């Protein structure tokens, strides 16, 4: 992919947004695993834990980029990513990460937890990269420093401006739609530009619309439960 083309820059922007939005889990894991350590050791754990996690994540992403070239896997990956985008909209994730009392135990906890929790990130970045390894590397180089040194700040920003999550879910949905239309045996169905771009827009609107509806429904149910609990009390 030519780095001077709009396709390159739009894909790179998508990767950075995906990395940042899905990096909230990474930041939480780091904080929980290192919280019992002395202040002087916490920085060491944050740096080396993140380095280890990123190395594994980069290797996994490059492997998935290669795997997505196998016929049918691009479609499957796109469909999985649609589900991930929807879940990002509606889920409130719980993190049960035990605090560690030694530097290496904390680093190990961060790496293992990130490897398990980072599957959505790996698939999303691989899909947005469109088979370009350079995009994966550049995206990581841009987003990793922000995650490491700005993770706490980024989490606060997301709490204050929840629409950022919506933007992230939209980018994931858009990436998923491009993976689906990019599948070779699906090409005949998307020969028409209007159908192709219309499908991509439809996927994004469906994910954001259903996610917003579900969040409001859950909020209403919780409000009703609180009112009922007060009446019973």
Put residue 100 in one of left, alpha, beta given phi > 0 → left and psi -120 to 50 → alpha: beta
Q: What is the CB neighbour count within 10 angstroms for residue 61?
A: 24
The helix (run of H) or strand (run of E) holding residue 131 is none
pLDDT in 10s for each residue of the chain, 233 residues:
566 677 778 888 887 777 777 665 566 566 656 666 777 777 777 777 777 777 777 787 778 778 777 888 878 888 888 887 888 788 655 555 555 567 777 777 666 666 655 666 777 777 887 777 777 777 777 766 666 665 556 556 666 777 877 887 888 888 888 888 888 888 888 988 899 999 999 999 999 999 999 988 888 888 888 888 777 76
Task: Tell me the CA distances in angstroms from 162 to 155, 171, 181, one per residue in order.
Answer: 10, 15, 30
**What per-residue confidence (pLDDT) applies to 11?**
81
**What per-residue confidence (pLDDT) applies to 209?**
94
Q: ∠ CA 91-27-56 to the nearest 5 degrees?
A: 100
Residue tagged 């135990």 (tokens):
105
Tokens found for residue 210: 């259903």
Burial class (CB in 10 A: 0-12, 13-18, 19+), 156: exposed
Residue tagged 């204050």 (tokens):
160
How do the residues of the chain divide into helix, strand and coil, expressed in percent and rounded to 5? 85, 0, 15
Which sequence spans correspond to the domains of the chain?
6-232
**What per-residue confidence (pLDDT) applies to 81?**
81
**What per-residue confidence (pLDDT) applies to 4?**
65
The helix (run of H) or strand (run of E) holding residue 109 is helix 103-117
**What per-residue confidence (pLDDT) applies to 115?**
61
Q: What is the pTM of this model?
A: 0.66
Handedness of CA 27, 13, 69, 181 (dihedral sign): positive
Tokens found for residue 110: 């961060």
């Amino acid at each position: 992919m030519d780095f001077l083309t709009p396709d390159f820059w739009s894909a790179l922007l998508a990767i950075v947004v995906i990395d940042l939005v899905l990096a909230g889990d990474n930041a939480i894991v780091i904080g929980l695993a290192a919280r019992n350590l002395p202040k002087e050791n916490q920085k060491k754990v944050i740096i080396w834990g993140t380095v280890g996690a990123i190395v594994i994540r980069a290797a996994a992403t490059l492997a998935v980029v290669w795997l997505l070239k196998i016929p049918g896997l691009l479609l499957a990956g796109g469909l999985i990513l649609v589900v991930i985008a929807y879940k990002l909209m509606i889920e409130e994730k719980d993190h049960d990460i035990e605090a560690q009392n030694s530097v290496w135990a904390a680093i190990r906890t961060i790496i293992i937890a990130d490897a398990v929790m980072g599957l959505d990130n790996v698939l999303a970045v691989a899909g947005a990269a469109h088979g370009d390894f350079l995009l994966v590397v550049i995206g990581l180089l841009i987003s990793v420093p922000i995650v490491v040194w700005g993770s706490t700040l980024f989490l606060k920003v997301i709490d204050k401006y929840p629409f950022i999550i919506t933007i992230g879910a939209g980018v994931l949905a858009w990436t998923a739609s491009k993976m689906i239309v990019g599948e070779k045996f699906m090409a005949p169905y998307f020969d028409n530009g209007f159908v192709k771009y219309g499908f991509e827009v439809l996927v994004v609107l469906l994910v954001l619309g259903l996610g917003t509806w579900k969040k409001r429904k859950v909020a209403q149910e919780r409000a009703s439960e609180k009112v009922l609990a007060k009446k019973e009390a």
